[in-house]
Amino acid sequence: MPEYYLCVPSKTDRGPLRCADLWLAGLPRTTVPQHGFNPESEESTCSLCFATLEPGSMLRHLPCQHSFHQPCIDEWLCEHDASCPLCRRTFYHLRRPYIIERQLPSRPQIQPDMDADVREARQTFMKWWKEFFTLSWVHHERTFPERKHHLRHQAQHPD
């Protein structure tokens, strides 16, 4: 049976985002326009893959106002680090709590001969326990010296 844990990531720990966190963050996306796009401008290439942005390419805009090809920046944020590759502004605050499922190890199977040993030990203990509490010296009709004498007699003359 699995166990479930709630993982609450730190807002300051370094590392990548989960893809679900990126999707839930709702970072804006746009398409490179067909008309009015200047391929000679500085913003005409993706700073991660260095490819020229083509009309119709999908861009993702980060809160720091930098834009990248969506697949390039999604891979960066989810596999490398939750920060802008240009200005290094961090986006660790976009991490959200999530549930971890962990399988419990299966219970070890008791070997048949071990099971018999456990049963025998239990029976021996139960026999001793019953004898201990059913001895006649436990009854209230005897005084302490009589009980003491009775125990000595039993120890000297076992059945």
Is 0.75 surpassed by the pTM of this model? no
Contact (CB, 8 A) for 7 and 102: no
Four-residue CA torsion sign, 43, 49, 54, 55: negative
Rounded Cα gap, residues 18 and 96, in angstroms: 9
CA distances from 40 to 57, 65, 81 (A): 16, 20, 30
- Identify the pLDDT of residue 87: 92
- Identify the pLDDT of residue 134: 62
**Tens of pLDDT, residues 146-155:** 666 666 777 7
Contact (CB, 8 A) for 5 and 102: yes
In the sheet where 58-61 sits, what is the strand order?
A: 29-31, 58-61, 67-69
Q: Which helix (H) or strand (E) holds 60?
A: strand 58-61
Nearest to 17 by CA among 89, 82, 64: 82
- Identify the pLDDT of residue 115: 73
**Tens of pLDDT, residues 88-115:** 998 888 888 888 888 766 666 656 666 7
Q: What share of the chain is helix, strand, coil (3-state, %, to 5)?
A: 40, 15, 45
Nearest to 68 by CA among 17, 28, 25: 28
Mean pLDDT by 10 residues, the chain (159 residues): 80 84 87 68 76 85 90 91 91 86 69 72 79 56 61 71
